[in-house]
Amino acid sequence: MGRLVYKYRFFFWGLLLNGIGLLTLYSALNYKGKVVYEMLLAKQIIWALIAWVVFWVTASIDYHYWKGVVAVSYVLSILLLILVLVIGDVRYGARRWMSIGGFVFQPSELAKVSFVLTISYILSIPRKINIKWLIIGIILTLFPAILIAMEPDLGTSLTLVPIAVAVFLSSGLSWRWIVLGVFSGVASMPIAWHFLKDYQKQRILVFLNPTKDPLGAGYTVVQSRIAIGSGGFWGKGWLSGTQNKFNFLPERHTDFIFSVLAEEWGLVGSILIIFAFASLVSNTLALALNCRDRFARHLSVAIGTYFFIHAFINIAMTCGFLPVVGLPLPFMSYGGTSLLMSYFLLGILQSIARDVDKI
* φ and ψ at residue 274, rounded to 5 degrees: -65, -40
Mean pLDDT of 223-234: 87
Who wins on pLDDT, 284 or 126?
A: 284
* Measured distance CA(83)–CA(98) in Å, rounded: 9
E strand or H helix that includes residue 356: helix 336-356
Long-range CB contact pairs, 280-289, < 8 A, 24+: 280/10, 280/13, 280/14, 280/17, 280/307, 281/307, 281/308, 281/311, 283/9, 283/10, 283/13, 284/10, 284/349, 287/349, 287/352, 287/353, 287/356, 288/170
* Measured distance CA(333)–CA(44) in Å, rounded: 9
Who wins on pLDDT, 129 or 77?
A: 77
Assessment of whether the complete model's pTM goes beyond 0.85? yes
**Band of residue 32 on the pLDDT scale cut at 50, 70, 90:** low
Per-residue pLDDT tens digits for 167-200: 998 888 877 777 776 776 666 666 665 566 666 6
Q: Give the C-alpha distances (Å, rounded to integers) separating 287 from 6, 21, 257, 292.
A: 12, 26, 29, 10
The pLDDT of residue 176 is: 76
**Band of residue 78 on the pLDDT scale cut at 50, 70, 90:** very high
CB-based contacts of 200, cutoff 8 Å, min separation 6? 152, 154
* Measured distance CA(28)–CA(261) in Å, rounded: 9
* Measured distance CA(39)–CA(43) in Å, rounded: 6
Q: Cis (ω within 30 of 0) for the bond into 214?
A: no
DSSP 103: E
Angle (CA) 115-322-214 rounded to 5° is 135
Does the pLDDT at position 303 exceed 90? Answer: yes
* Measured distance CA(139)–CA(124) in Å, rounded: 16
CB-based contacts of 82, cutoff 8 Å, min separation 6? 147
The pLDDT of residue 208 is: 62
Mean pLDDT of 30-57: 87
Per-residue pLDDT tens digits for 121-152: 999 998 778 888 888 989 999 999 999 988 87
Does the pLDDT at position 263 exceed 70? Answer: yes
Torsion, Cα 311 315 321 326, to 10 degrees, reads 80
Q: Indicate if the alpha-carbon torsion angle 348, 350, 354, 357 is positive or negative.
A: positive
Burial tier of 116 (Cβ tally within 10 Å: 0-12, 13-18, 19+): buried
Does the pLDDT at position 239 exceed 90? Answer: no
Does the pLDDT at position 253 exceed 70? Answer: yes
Does the pLDDT at position 5 exceed 80? Answer: no
